Structure formats: structure tokens, C-alpha cells
Amino acid sequence: MKSIATLALSLLALPIALAASMQTSDADLRKLTGQIKVDGSSTVYPITEAVAEDFQAAAPKTRPTVGISGTGGGFKRFCAGEIDISNASRPITKTEADSAKTNKIEFIELPIAFDGLTVVVNPANTWVTQLNVDQLKKIFSADSPAKKWSDVNPAWPSETIKVFSPGTDSGTFDYFKEVTVGKDGKIRSDLSVSEDDNVLVTGVAGDKNAIGYFGFAYFAENASKLKLVPIDGGKGAITPNGMTIEDGTYSPFSRPLFIYVNAKSAERPEIAAFVNFYLANTAKLSKQVGYTPLPAVINDRATSNWKSKKLGTQYLDASGNKVQGSIANVYK
């Protein structure tokens, strides 16, 4: 009788003990101290800010700081070992990964949310009802760019296209460029550029012949002033929304957002606790600040990569070539 009770008790205790080993307890969090330095993409910033805000409340003696140097600027600092975590709105490039290697920086790559890149035109624009990637290439490419709408489609008016784009140091620009004109292509230079996406919103909203692109959150806040363009990625035109972004049908413009954790920093308890906290809460928090959560299966894979400290990026193969495809294919 006694042994059965012991067995039952230990069976009961087992999952609790397991859970405790996975998650730092609240009391342990309160004891943590130390700096957690995060910098990088301003697109990822709102999510990391939300995580840092809640983490700070749970672990009041730690000092998380989050900067907005841009994806490129963040990686520069990350690869020099200046920060613990880098926010990125695109995967790390080969050049950046090489620079990390030279500085003996190892890292863990973790996808944390989706951002839909939206292409928008002015509401008075009646002719554009959808665009495919080829048409976008015609509009944005530096090689013989379409000067007028009629250059894209002869049925469209013969009026000059006004092009608006985020700044060249942003991951948003990099991602858009790669999808439309390719890695080695060039985006036209006669466009209006702003680091502040609100300026792009105002620009497109104020000009009948304008076209621009930025993150879904900026469209969602200004939906009445803009016209969303459904994108045909080869399987029919898809309008971006929470559902099509999450399940990946809004292709190719549903892009994953990442954090990169310095592997050496990850050995520090406060960093480990912060990343645990990040992965456990990112679904809830990313939604709160206007992004689309990753499918649970990708989040699970990211979490298991984190637990097993899987080093390096999934976006570069062994010989350093870029891995293409949706995140579901890359994160197997």
C-alpha cells in the first residue's frame, strides 16, 4: 500500500519537476541580475519592447535595453560582440555570418513572428486590383523601370508612377528587393525614401499615382487612407490578413522576423531566462503589438532549437548558399 502511494506521488511529482527544469521559477527570476543588451530592427522593436517590459516586471533586478539601429546596424554590433541579442527583420547574410565567424561569435537563430509586407496604392487608383511579382519587378527594378502605369499594363493610364520605399538600411527594403528584383538586382533610385514608414503612408495617401510598401501594421492603422493590393505569387492573388500571413499563402511577402542570440551570452542565466520568456510569450505579445504569431509548430521548432543550443543559421547551407523557401520548409 505504502509503495503504491509513493509511486503515485512520484508520478505526480515527475511532470512538476520536468516543468521546473524547463522554466525558471518566479522566485528565481526575481533574483536575476545583469544587463541584457538588444539592438537591431525597428520592425522587431515593438515585440522585443513588449517582452522586455514584461520580463523586467518579472525580474526587476535585470536591465534589459532595446535599441533601434536597424537590422543591418544591429548585425554589425552583434557580429562585433557588442550586444547579446540582435533583432532582425530578415535572416543573417553570408557577409554578416562570416564577420561573426572572424570575431569568434557563435549564435542561435530564432524566428519569433510574422510580418506581412503590404503593397499599397492610393484609394483613387481604380486600375490596380492586383499585382504579380513580374509587375512589381517592372515598377521597382532599376533596369528599365516603368515610368508610367501604362508601361506596366497598356490598359492602365499613361501617368507617371510615384514610388515610395523604406530606407535602404532597413530589413524591409532588403526583403522586398530580394523578392522583386533578386539578390543581385537593383531597386530604382528615383523613388521617395523615408526611414519613417508614416511618411510613406502620407506620401501614398496624398498622390493618386503613388505606390509603396511597408509592414502590415502600418497599413492596418491607416486602412481608410490606402488601398491594399492583393499579390499574385503564382497561385492567384492573395490579400494579406492575419490568416493568409500566418499560413503562408500570402506568398512571397509574408516574412518571418527573428532574434539572434549570442551563444556565449546565452550561458548567462539572465539571458537564458530572457530568451525562455521571449519564446513562451512571443505569440501573445506579437499579436498585441500588431504582428502575426508564428504557427505553433514553427514556434515549437524554434524552442527546441533554443533548448538544444542549435548554432548557426538555417538560411545558409554548408557551402554558404542562401536557402530559399517559406519558413515552414526552412525550419524542419
Partner 1 sequence: MSNISLQTKRILKNRAFLALCLLSTSATILILALLIVSIILQGSHFLFNSDALSAVFAHGELSQIPKIFRWDFLTNFASRFPEKAGIYAAIIGSVWVCVICALLALPLGIGTAIYLEEFAPKNRWTALIDFNIRNLAGVPSIVYGILGLTAFTRMFGLFGSDKNSALAFGPDDAWWHIQFPFGQGLLAGGLTLMLVVLPIVIISSREALRAVPSSLRQASLAIGATPWQTASKITLPAAIPSILTGAILAMSRAMGEAAPLLVLGIPVFIANTPDNLNDNFTVLPFQIFNWAGRPQESFHQLAASAIVVLLVVLICFNGVAVYLRQKLRKPMA
The least CB distance from residue 149 to partner 1, in Å, is: 27
Residue count, binding to partner 1 (CB under 8 A): 39
Task: Tell me which of 24, 41, 48, 172 binds partner 1, using CB under 8 A.
Answer: 48
User: CB of 301 within 8 A of CB of 331?
Assistant: yes
Task: Tell me which of 58, 133, 191, 220 binds partner 1, using CB under 8 A.
Answer: 220
Q: What is the CA radius of gyration of the chain?
A: 22
Neighbours of 98 (CB within 10 A): 14
User: CB of 315 within 8 A of CB of 330?
Assistant: yes
Map residues 266-285 to x or -, x wherever contact with partner 1 holds by CB under 8 A. Answer: -------------------x
Task: Tell me which of 24, 32, 39, 79 binds partner 1, using CB under 8 A.
Answer: 39
Map residues 173-212 to x or -, x wherever contact with partner 1 holds by CB under 8 A. Answer: ----------------------xxxx--------------
The total number of residues written for the chain in this structure: 332
User: CB of 209 within 8 A of CB of 122?
Assistant: yes
Interface stretch with partner 1, choices 7-15, 34-42, 177-185, 203-211 (CB under 8 A): 34-42
Q: Which of 99, 64, 62 is nearest to 84 (CA)?
A: 64
DSSP state at residue 115 = E
Map residues 297-326 to x or -, x wherever contact with partner 1 holds by CB under 8 A. Answer: ------------------------------
Task: Tell me which of 53, 134, 190, 317 binds partner 1, using CB under 8 A.
Answer: 53
Interface stretch with partner 1, choices 68-76, 111-119, 298-306, 312-320 (CB under 8 A): 68-76
Instruction: Give the start-end residues of each E strand in the chain.
Output: 34-40, 62-66, 85-88, 107-121, 131-132, 162-166, 192-194, 210-215, 227-228, 231-232, 237-238, 254-262
Interface stretch with partner 1, choices 204-212, 226-234, 287-295, 312-320 (CB under 8 A): 287-295
Tell me which residues touch partner 1 (CB under 8 A). Answer: 35, 37-39, 42, 45-46, 48-50, 52-53, 56, 63-69, 73, 77, 80-82, 195-198, 215, 217-218, 220-222, 285, 288-290
